Amino acid sequence: NWTTGNVIEEQVAAIREQVGDRRAICGLSGGVDSAVAAALVQKAIGSQLTCVYVDHGLMRKGETEQVEKDFVAATGVQLKVVDAEERFLKALAGVSDPEEKRKIIGREFIRVFEQAQAEIIADEGPAVEFLVQGTLYPDVVESGGGTGTANIKSHHNVGGLPEDLEFQLIEPLRKLFKDEVRMVGQELGLPEEIVQRQPFPGPGLGIRIVGEVTKERLDLLREADAIAREELTAAGLDRDIWQCPVVLLADVRSVGVQGDGRTYGHPIVLRPVSSEDAMTADWSRLPYEVLARISTRITNEVKDVNRVVLDVTSKPPGTIEWE
Ligand code: XMP
């Protein structure tokens, strides 16, 4: 007899039993799964859990604050936020190739995360032996099953971590589907903005700038993205679309006329899609009035953007993200 209350009760008891008086850590991505997993483990073991959030500077407007304030307020979790913006921007300087960007972001992310982990482990207190992961049932099936007893070995390349340190995994969501995870999150009191969040890629806005990633371009894209999100939410369309990447074509310029003069600015691409599982997708037929409002606001409010274009490509042949 499945209820969210039962799931929470069962998991809390199991986690308490598993962890005892030792400690656990959990990486937060800003996404639904890691947030709900962390909240559940927090409910079970309280201050024996420490969460780590790596701010790579590629998040959207307000996202880091949402984790820092709203998530902490809702759960009371102990959170270590690592401000790594400078480090990521430096590593990405001069890089335009999409795969190269992804590799750099992934590599830096692991380094920063492991360093934070090492610092937590080095703290006074009982040993940290558990790593919380927001693995869902579909993830378990896709990777060919598993028994839930897997130990993962931490990477060796980071100073401060013992070579043979192993974490036991805590995966409280591994029997659940996404909609069930959302219900559990809601029951745990997580804010709607976290629980109902649409997918957002780990490399963040870094793969939504076609061209080199710079702080200035990120700020510009953050503004455009915030406007698009605001208008889609105001129009009540959040549940109708799967997600809507907003992309800055930083390497493209076109001529425009704004105010009394000629401009030579960048286009912003809107990429609203409908999908069941992101494997295939169709472009969303958004109402023209909503598109018009987004276009007008972005070109009026965002510096250096003088054109807004709509991506009308399905997946396949296009992927959802541009890079
Ligand atoms: P594509 O662009 O491959 O995207 O059609 C499919 C879905 O995956 C998301 N995406 C990612 N998510 N890390 C993630 O966590 C990534 O590197 C990544 N790349 C794409 C994308 O937003 C879409 O929902």
Q: Is residue 317 part of a domain?
A: no
Total domains present in the chain: 2
What CA–CA distances, in Å, run from 31 to 171, 176, 238? 15, 16, 16
Indicate whether 150 pLDDT > 70.
Answer: no
Q: What is the CATH classification number for the domain harbouring 294? A: 3.30.300.10
Mean predicted confidence (pLDDT) in 188-212 = 95
Mean predicted confidence (pLDDT) in 9-22 = 97
Looking at the structure, tell me whether residues 175 and 106 fall in a common domain. yes
Residue 320, ligand 1, Cβ within 6 A? yes
Looking at the structure, tell me whether residues 44 and 79 fall in a common domain. yes
Q: What is the CATH classification number for the domain harbouring 173? A: 3.40.50.620
Query: Model confidence at 165, in pLDDT bands (50, 70, 90)?
Result: low
Residue 187, ligand 1, Cβ within 6 A? no
pTM for the model stands at 0.90
Structure confidence at residue 1 (pLDDT): 73
Query: Model confidence at 77, in pLDDT bands (50, 70, 90)?
Result: very high
200 CA to centre of ligand 1 in angstroms: 7
Looking at the structure, tell me whether residues 135 and 216 fall in a common domain. no
Looking at the structure, tell me whether residues 167 and 294 fall in a common domain. no
Query: Model confidence at 123, in pLDDT bands (50, 70, 90)?
Result: confident
198 CA to centre of ligand 1 in angstroms: 11
Looking at the structure, tell me whether residues 212 and 66 fall in a common domain. no
Q: Which atom of ligand 1 is nearest to the CA of 102?
A: 17
Q: Is 30 annotated as a binding residue?
A: yes
Q: Which of 148, 168, 195 is the last residue of a domain?
A: 195
Domain of 174 in residue numbering reads as: 4-195
Query: Model confidence at 141, in pLDDT bands (50, 70, 90)?
Result: confident
Q: How deeply is 111 buried, as exposed, middle or buried, from its count of CB atoms within 10 A (0-12, 13-18, 19+)?
A: middle
Q: Average pLDDT, whole number, for the chain?
A: 92
Q: Is residue 61 part of a domain?
A: yes
Residue owning the nearest CA to atom 11 of ligand 1 = 201
Looking at the structure, tell me whether residues 181 and 289 fall in a common domain. no
Residue owning the nearest CA to atom 18 of ligand 1 = 201
Structure confidence at residue 75 (pLDDT): 94
Helix axes 215-234, 288-301, angle to 10 degrees: 150
Indicate whether 147 pLDDT > 60.
Answer: no
For residue 259, what are its two tokens?
A: 């105010």
Q: Which of 141, 168, 195 is the last residue of a domain?
A: 195
Q: Is residue 322 part of a domain?
A: no
Looking at the structure, tell me whether residues 184 and 212 fall in a common domain. no
Task: Return the percentage of the chain with pLDDT > 90, whole number.
Answer: 85
Lowest mean pLDDT among 56-70, 80-94, 162-176, 304-318: 162-176
Indicate whether 140 pLDDT > 90.
Answer: no
Indicate whether 15 pLDDT > 50.
Answer: yes
Tell which one of 54, 63, 321, 322 to mutate to probe ligand 1, the residue whose CB is within 8 A of the most ligand atoms.
321
Helix axes 98-122, 85-92, angle to 10 degrees: 150
pLDDT digits (tens, 9 = 90+) for 251-264: 999 999 998 899 99
Q: Is 47 annotated as a binding residue?
A: no
Q: Which atom of ligand 1 is nearest to the CA of 207?
A: 19
Q: Is residue 316 part of a domain?
A: no
Structure confidence at residue 166 (pLDDT): 78
Mean predicted confidence (pLDDT) in 67-83 = 94
Q: Is residue 261 part of a domain?
A: yes
Looking at the structure, tell me whether residues 148 and 25 fall in a common domain. yes
As a three-state string, the secondary structure of 91-102 is HHCCCCCHHHHH
Q: Check residue 191 and report its DSSP letter.
A: -
Looking at the structure, tell me whether residues 116 and 217 fall in a common domain. no
Query: Model confidence at 157, in pLDDT bands (50, 70, 90)?
Result: very low
Residue 172, ligand 1, Cβ within 6 A? no
Contact call for residues 227 and 61 (beta carbons, < 8 A): no
Q: Which of 163, 195, 227 is the last residue of a domain?
A: 195
Mean predicted confidence (pLDDT) in 129-139 = 92
* 307 vs 288: CA distance, rounded Å: 16
85 CA to centre of ligand 1 in angstroms: 21
Mean predicted confidence (pLDDT) in 150-166 = 50
Looking at the structure, tell me whether residues 176 and 253 fall in a common domain. no
What are the two backbone dihedrals, phi and then psi, of residue 265, each rounded to the nearest 5 degrees? -120, -170
Tell which one of 32, 320, 322, 323 to mutate to probe ligand 1, the residue whose CB is within 8 A of the most ligand atoms.
320
Indicate whether 271 pLDDT > 60.
Answer: yes
Residue 204, ligand 1, Cβ within 6 A? no
Indicate whether 148 pLDDT > 80.
Answer: no
Mean predicted confidence (pLDDT) in 213-232 = 98
Q: Is residue 320 part of a domain?
A: no
Structure confidence at residue 161 (pLDDT): 53
Looking at the structure, tell me whether residues 235 and 100 fall in a common domain. no
Looking at the structure, tell me whether residues 147 and 12 fall in a common domain. yes
Indicate whether 240 pLDDT > 90.
Answer: yes
Q: Is residue 41 part of a domain?
A: yes
Q: Is residue 169 part of a domain?
A: yes
